[in-house]
Amino acid sequence: MLQTSYVKYIGTERTTFFSHDVKNFKPRERWQWRLSNSATPVPRGAFPFVGSIKRLGTVRALTSTTPPDLNPKLLTPREDKKANYVPVYVMLPLDVISTENQLEKPEELRIKLKTLKSADVDGVMLDVWWGIVESKGPKMYDWSAYQQLFGIIKEEGLKLQAIMSFHQCGGNIGDIIYIPIPKWVREIGMSNPDIFYTNKGGTRNEECLSLGVDNQPLFFGRTAIQMYRDYMKSFKENMKDFLDAGLISDIEVGLGPAGEMRYPSYPESQGWVYPGIGEFQCYDKYLQEDFKAAAARVGHPEWKLPGEDAGDYNDTPSCTKFFRMDGSYITEEGKFFLTWYSNKLIVHADRILDEANKVFMGCKIKLAAKVAGIHWWYFHPSHAAELTAGYYNLTDRDGYRPIARMLSRHNAILNFTCVEMQNYEHPRGAKSGPEELVQQVLSAGWREGIQVACENALSRYDRNAYNQILKNARPNGLNKIAPSKLRVFAITYLRLSDKLLEENNFSIFKNFVRKMHADLDYLPNSDKYFVPIETIARSKPEIPIEDLLEATKPEKPYPFDPEPDMPVGGDNLFDVLFVLFGKIKSIFT
């Protein structure tokens, strides 16, 4: 007898089962029948010959090494090829809007945007600085310069990724100017410095507000999250015409320093130098009180936050009691602290994204959150630099998949950095693993059924870097027969500069864009061939922290091809020798 077979989907994980298994599904799991490659629900009791079941609500992951079908639509062969087209955005200069809230050199900028458009770039990314727009006082917003800039971007036929930048510009890698958070917020910090992240030595970091004040009404009656919400509401109201016109493709919500979902554990402004392990940033009074209460709840009021045993910014793991091979991080107390520290970050991001979802509900855009590429000490057992940043990631614990699972309830994009890097480019003593880290994080996002996007961490103009980005963007190569291979949602290149536009550099960059587009001509609405951007619906119910932590069980990442599918070629001798040297060096390191 021919058995009817089905595929059970949970997130993007899938497993085949047969018709006689259906009776084993628990009623509380609430399954919905769908035909394979179809968005049409099938009535209960109607059993298709080949079908799928999609779970509604909280996801539960299955073990699978099969790449997920990220695009279940039926496409024609011609459309299949278009599904390989990865949009390319270029980040605009940090100071395109001055600290005086003026658009700098608009006509010169327009010429540069035209040059980008000539390369078929899809759009640009832009920091929308809190410290500029709301600088004059609480709820005193001035969007005029950004409205002028958005108008120019629209006129030049580019799309826009807008970053809600609730952080300071200055003090991080690549920061060339200083844009502080609003002065009236910093003045509150003068009388109450605990609103800022603090290290164990008591040094405050004014880059952004501590997550300890997320729900503290310290800012003229508002909490930090309420300030972020009101800022986003004002943005939506004042940029309505641009939102309605489809100019804005996604809103990246700032969640920490440099706009990233992390603690400011490695600030250059406080003397950090690569590859220092960084320092924990949980010593403001609000986070200290929170930890003390959390320890008491589990019956250990004697447990303390890490002290001198965790080392200083520029230490190596081996010279600290906390991070060394048999260090405190593997003790019961250490595990409790690291779980608390990383969970606070996840909850912080979840709450802000929930507010963003309510603000932008009904807009045809995507929400996004950036996760930092902390690649140094990745191959040390402690992953020390990741731990101080808030990513509790070890060989036997996945620190990124819980983040991806949290993002899944908001249908938000996970944007990850350092995709241009290769291991051999870093000092051997730093135990750096950007290639494996990228593979782990992207796989975590795909396993949780969300879209992932990428950007380079440092400015690069060489073919070697571009080819690494291409490899990570389509890690299993071009998809010529069915839309089921892995692919990132978009790539953002850092950043627009005079150096990028130099003749040789720009020629290579144009080739890179062409390969990212799978050798296709510019597609104005490329998302419809992959995952169409839809109007934002209300976020799913909050996922209990226990369910998020189920995702910490490590699994092998999806396999990535060793080489890009469509490399950026050329006969530049320097680039050829650069690649050759790198491959020889990697053999011996």
Residue 4, annotated as binding a ligand: no
* Contact indicator for 36, 51 with CB cutoff of 8 Å: yes
The helix/strand/coil state of 81 is helix
Structure tokens given for 406: 């949290």
- Diameter of the chain by CA atoms? 78
Cα–Cα distance measured from residue 86 to residue 488, given in angstroms and rounded to the nearest whole number: 7
Cβ–Cβ < 8 Å for 514, 84: no
Tell whether 127 is in a known binding site: yes
Instruction: Outline where DSSP puts E strands in 408-508.
Output: 413-416, 452-455, 491-493
Which strand ranges, in their side-by-side order, compose the sheet holding 50-55? 13-18, 5-10, 50-55, 31-35
Question: Is 260 one of the annotated active-site residues of the chain?
Answer: yes
Would you say 69 is a known binding-site residue? no
* Bridge partners of residue 197, in order along the sequence: 205
Per DSSP (E only), the strands in 320-473 are 366-371, 413-416, 452-455
Catalytic residue among 156, 355, 448, 455: 455
Q: How far apart are CA 8 and CA 14, in angstroms?
A: 5
Strand-strand pairing, 452-455 and 88-91? unpaired
Is 417 labelled a binding residue?
yes
- Judged by DSSP in three states, 529 sits in helix
Residues in a beta bridge with 361: none
- For residue 54, the surrounding DSSP H or E stretch is strand 50-55
Between CA 482 and CA 484 the distance in angstroms is 6
Q: What is the CA radius of gyration of the chain?
A: 24
Q: Of the residues 260, 279, 448, 555, which is catalytic?
A: 260
Asked if residue 465 belongs to a known ligand binding site, the reply is no
Query: Which tokens hold the place of 148?
Result: 């002028």
Spatial distance between the Cα atoms of 84 and 97, rounded to a whole number of angstroms = 35
Is 156 in the active site? no
User: What is the distance between the alpha carbons of residues 291 and 281, in angstroms, rounded to a whole number?
Assistant: 13
495 is in an annotated binding site: yes
Question: Is 410 marked within a binding site?
Answer: no
List residues forming the annotated binding site for substrate. Answer: 127, 167, 175, 370, 375, 417, 456-457, 495
Residues with catalytic roles: 260, 455
List residues forming the annotated binding site. Answer: 127, 167, 175, 370, 375, 417, 456-457, 495
